[in-house]
Structures are given as C-alpha cells and as structure tokens.
Structure 1
Amino acid sequence: GVYSGQGRGNRFSSRLHFADPSTAADDAEQMIAQSVEVIRGDDAVGIIQATGRLVGAQGKTVATFKNTYQLHRGSRWLDVITQLQPDPQLDLGDDPWQSYIAWRSAVSTDTSSTQAPLRDMLHRVGSGKRIDSPGGLLIDEVDKQTLIFTDGRPAHRKVGDRFIDSLLVVRGEQQQAFSMSLGFDVKSPLQALRAAIAPPPQIPIAEMPKTSVGWLINCSTPDIVVTDLKLQSDSPLSLSMLVIAGRSDSRKVKLRFCRDVVSAERETGNPHMPRQAVTHEGDRIDLSLAGHEAVRLHVTLGG
C-alpha cells in the first residue's frame, strides 16, 4: 500500500490478480510471499525485491512471481518490475477479458474518475469495463491523482468502483517479464505520461560542465508540449521542434532559448509557401496556436 499526507489509511494498493471465470468470488486468490529482501537502501534509491506464489481460489499455485520495487529519492514515480512463471498446468480460458493474470490497482474512494491520454488530451473513460489505453491511465480522486503506466500494454479492465486490472498474461502469452510505473500527484500528468512512453536519452559525458545548471528551451505557457527536437546544424546552431497545444482554446505561446534567436519559421503545409516567418525578439519567440494545433518550428540561434 501507498500512504501520503495526513489521510488515514492507504491511498493506493496494487497486487497480482488471477481472474478465474469458474470461481464466483473475484478476490479469492492470494499472493503468498516467500521472501522480502532489501536490495539497496541509500540516499539515492531504495530497491525491495519480493518473491512468492500466486495461489488461486482452490489453493493451487497459479504462478510464481518476483516483484522488484524501485523508488528514487525525490521522485514521485514508483517503478515495479514483475517476473512471472505461470504453472505448466495453468489453462487460461479463450476470453482474455475473463481469464487472465493482471496487476490489480485499488484506490481508497469509490468516487474516482479514470482518464486516458488521447490526441494530446486526457479524456474521461466511459462507463464500459474494458479500456484500451497503451499510453497509461490517470485516476483522479479530486484531492489526489495516481498515474498508471504499464509500459505500453494497452488492456485494462474496470472492476467495481475501486479496482482496475491491467492485463499481463492471457492464453498464448509468452512474455514473462513486465514493468509498471506508478506516479503519485505528478505535476503535468499528460506530459509525464508522454515522458514515460519516450524517456529522454541519456548521453555520457567525459567531464562535468563548468556550470551546474543548463537549459535549452523554456516554455511558461501551460498545456504546451515541445517535443521531437532535432539538431539541423551546429554551425550555426539550428533546431527543429514540434510545438503542440494540449487544449481546445487558442493560445499565445512564448518560447525562450538559451541564446538570442536569429531566425524562426513555422511550417505551413502549403507547397507554394512551405514556411512562414515567426515573430521573435532577443531570446524569445511569440507564436499563436489554435486549439490542439501542432506546428513544426525551425529556429536558428546566434553564437
């Protein structure tokens, strides 16, 4: 379970769940731990590993598991890696929505709403039980929010008012290692889910730079995503990027760069005039975007 703030009881819990259509009870299975070990616990990161068995309603072992939980200091994301070894005698049914092994997530209230990212927005999930969302889910409980990202696995199933099953193993599944990330009260949840899908690349450097803080682009306008950054030339420094409006109303966007802007153009989609100049002054670009508009920018910076 996960605890936060002054509220009583846990705000969130997660466990492995075996859905067996031949059993009337939906929560008769058990996770039985055989060992819990602290792999690492220092000022930077904490890692705990638990191994055990997932036991069905009749007391038979469904699968063995090894769960590794990792939390970095200062992060609001809990990373979970699960290794499953289903029992050779396990015979899952033909309907994957009724017979499966899943992560079951539970929140503390039955008045939460579930949202899924789609086309640069978070959309409220309908009343149906089946959810297809490879980009993850947001559980909104008004005073707290929880993000569930299952590394692109799209199938989720609502169970009652408090539970969500994220399907892992169905009939024919060969994969045995799965990862999930849980975000708690993460700022800008849509952007956070995007970053989970495509994390920033890490480039090794030979030595530390002279300055401890560096930046390239800053955008103070809410609900604007700057993505797909490409280096077109390093002399002069020329960049290409995609700027996306995440809301339905038009926005005036201000982008600031680490150097003064020499030129800025936006692609128009018109073959007769493929690019249009964008207003800029000093290190700032002023850009107008319609609702949900995506614009490709080409920017050249001074020395």
Structure 2
Amino acid sequence: MSSRVVTCTATEAAIETTVRLINPVDGQPLLTARQLTAVSRFSPRIEILVSFEEIRQGLSGNPWMTYVASRFAWDNESAAVTRSVLGQAAGFRAERFESPDYIEVADQDQRLLIIPHGRPYHRRSGPRMLDSLLLTEGETSRSFRFTLEFDQAWPQQSVQDLLLPPAALIPQTNAISPSTTSAWLLGLSARNVMLVSTADQNIRSELIMAGPSAPDAPSPSCSITLTLLETEMRACECLVRTARKPLRAWLLRSINGPAQELPANAEGVSVPFNSGQLLTLILQFR
C-alpha cells in the first residue's frame, strides 16, 4: 500500500491511496485499487473516488459472498442504521439490503450519511461495519464514487442536491428588467418534503368547474400539478409558495379519490402531511 498527496492548498486537499490485492493461495496479484479522498473548505462533504486497474482475474460466484467492496466502520455498536426506500427513511433487520440513495448511521451524538450515488447493494459485515459492494461477477464499471456527510438533518435533501442536475437556464434578453438579479417560481417551507414531479396540466379537469363561483370571478387560464413526498417519517405542515398567487388549490390523496379544496392566500397554500405521505397538489392560476 502507498499514499501520496494529490492536492494541498488553503482551500482543498486530496490524498490518493494505492493498494495491490494478492491471491493468498499462489501469491499472484489480483488487482490494483486506487482511492482518492478529497475535502474542500467550501463544502461539508468528503468525496471518495474508488477505481480499479489491472484486474487479472474476474470474480465469479455468489455476489453476496464473492465481491470487492468499500467497508465503512463506526465506533458505537448501538448506533441506528437506516436506509432510503423510495425516497423515504426506513429501518431494516436483514444482513443484506438495497439502498441506492443513502445509508445513515446515527446515535445520540453524531450522524454519518453515506451516499453511494445509485449503487444499491450493501451488506452488514459486523455489528459496526458495512460493506458497499463494488465489484461482483459480471460488473463492468471500474470507477465508483461515495459522498460522506456528517450531522446532516435532512439526508434525502443532500441526495437530491448531489444526484439531480440543475435545471437548464434559457437566456432571455428582454423578458426581465436589467436590475433583476434573482427570481424564483416555487418553494417548500418543510425540508422533509420533496417535490417528486411537476406537470403543467390538471390531471382532474372536472375540478376546474367544481364549486360555486361569483359572476365576476376571473376565469382560470392554467394549472400545475405537484407530487409531494414526506421523506423523514415526520408529520408536518408544509407551506407551498408560488411566485404568483394561485386562484384555487386542491389536495388529492389518491389520483381517483375525492379532492379537498385548500385555502390559497398571498402566503401560499398550507398542505398537511402525515409521516411518509405522498400527496398531489393541483394549483389553478389566472
């Protein structure tokens, strides 16, 4: 094993560790692994890049028993280990489990967040150890990435920040005032509520005409449909803010279920969530 400093500045640092794995039976080299660990003064994260070279013999057999993995360990055996299932935090008891979003290790003093960047297969290799599988039979990738965060109160938010690319910006020359420096369209007040999808159409067109309306009421011109998910298994109230005040708002707990009209005011639309609930919100605008 050897290590070298790749970057060392006032704001960034990175170290590369190279390891050669040897077959214990005949002493022949199996592969070469390189791990690059990087930190930045401007980010609370640790970035880890693992790559493999000179693989002399491919792995074969049961992937849960014959594999190359990155192993993580912590000092408290009683720490709670949770995973993400369909965007929500969930516990588990099995030794082998799937979690493409994140694994969190937490006790009363510290929280460790492991983000495997979409790789789903992991294994508890001891009371305070975890293997994240990298190479197994048939695996063609040779480069893998991890991101570590500490004491992160909203794990799913960190995953979304890392994995979702930023929205494309379309330059506009005459659309806004030259003095405008920033703008926004939609905001959620609760950090444990995630926007899953949006659609610029009303999935329940009969709601447009539902309910009484005054003769001089403005006619609706458009609507958007938001799918929202509570991710931390905590009941909460989330204020959905929009750049323009909605004319009306409806809450759907299922696509074909009854619609509940919610009050819409200048502050936004307040949406109640039970733990782990997936809701659909329809906003109608002038």
TM-score by length of structure 2 reads 0.75
Residue in structure 1 matched with residue 188 of structure 2 by the alignment? 219
Residue 246 of structure 2 aligns with which residue? 261
Q: What's the RMSD between the two structures over aligned residues?
A: 3.4
Give the Å deviation of 1:82: 1.9
What CA distance in whole angstroms lies between the structure 2 residues aligned with 1:168 and 1:71? 22
**1:1-303 alignment to 2 at 5 Å?**
32-33=1-2, 35-38=4-7, 41=9, 43=11, 46=12, 48=14, 50=16, 52-56=18-22, 58=24, 60-88=28-56, 90=57, 92-126=59-93, 128-196=94-162, 198-204=163-169, 210-212=179-181, 214-221=183-190, 223-231=192-200, 238-246=223-231, 251-267=236-252, 269=254, 277-301=261-285
* Cα distance, 1:194–1:201 mapped onto 2, change above 3 Å: closer
The residue identity in structure 2 corresponding to 1:123 is A
SS of 1:117's equivalent in the other structure is strand
Match of 2:216 in 1: none
CA shift, 1:176, in A, is 0.8
Decide whether aligned partners of structure 1 residues 250 and 282 sit closer, same or farther in structure 2, where only a CA change above 3 A counts: same
CA distance in 2, matches of 1:270, 1:151: 31
Question: CA 1:176–1:71 in structure 2 vs 1: closer, same or farther (change >3 Å)?
Answer: same
Deviations 1:94-113 (A, max 9, x none): 12222211111111322222
> Taking structure 1 as reference, are residues 42 and 205 closer, same or farther at Cα in structure 2, changes over 3 Å only?
farther
**Which sections of structure 1, spanning at least 5 residues, go unmatched?**
1-31
> Match of 2:101, SS?
coil
Asked if the contact 1:258–1:283 (Cα under 8 Å) also holds between the matched residues in 2, the reply is: no
Structure 2 Cα separation of the partners of residues 49 and 132 of structure 1: 30
Q: How far apart in 2 are the matches of 1:134 and 1:71?
A: 23
Structure 1 pair 113/268, CA: closer, same or farther in 2 (3 Å)? Answer: closer
CA distance in 2, matches of 1:218, 1:275: 22
* Structure 1 contact 53–61 (Cα < 8 Å) conserved: no
Q: Conserved in 1, the CA contact under 8 Å of 2:89 and 2:233?
A: no
Q: Give the share of equivalent positions with the same residue, in percent.
A: 21
Any conservation in 2 of the 1:69–1:79 contact (CA below 8 Å)? yes
Q: Provide the C-alpha distance between the structure 1 equivalents of 2:194 and 2:74, rounded to a whole number of angstroms.
A: 29
SS at structure 2 position matched to 1:151: coil
- Equivalent-residue separation in structure 1 for 2:55 and 2:253 (angstroms): 57
Structure having the larger proportion of residues in strand: 1
Deviation of 1:158 (Å): 1.2
Q: How far 1:155 moved relative to its partner? A: 1.3
Distance 1:171 1:301 in 2: 54
Aligned residue type for 1:201:
P
- Say which SS state the counterpart of residue 59 (structure 2) adopts: coil
Give aligned pairs, total: 263
> Which amino acid is the alignment partner of residue 164 of structure 2?
P
> What is the rounded CA distance, in whole Å, between the counterparts of 1:261 and 1:100 in structure 2?
54
Measure how far apart 1:85 and its partner are. Answer: 1.7
1:167–1:243 distance in 2 versus 1, CA, 3 Å = same
Q: Distance in 2 between matches of 1:270 and 1:230?
A: 14
Q: CA deviation at 1:167?
A: 0.6
The TM-score normalised by the length of structure 1 is 0.71
The 8 Å contact of residues 261 and 281 in structure 1, kept in 2 or not, is answered as: yes
Matches of 2:167 and 2:118, distance apart in 1: 21
Cα offset for 1:257? Answer: 2.3
Q: Which amino acid aligns with 2:2?
A: A
Q: Name the SS of the counterpart of 2:20 in structure 1.
A: strand
For residues 265-294 of structure 1, the C-alpha deviation after alignment (integer angstroms, 9 at most, x for no partner) is: 3446565x8855331111311333444332
Residue identity matched to 1:135:
D
Distance 2:130 2:87 in 1: 23
Q: Which amino acid aligns with 1:151?
A: H
Question: What one-letter code is carried by the residue in structure 1 that aligns with 2:45?
Answer: W
Deviations 1:81-137 (A, max 9, x none): 22212531x3534122222111111113222221011244312221x3212222221
Query: Residue deviations 1:228-254, cap 9 Å, x none?
Result: 234559x96753321223466765432
The DSSP-based 3-state class of the residue aligned with 1:114 is strand
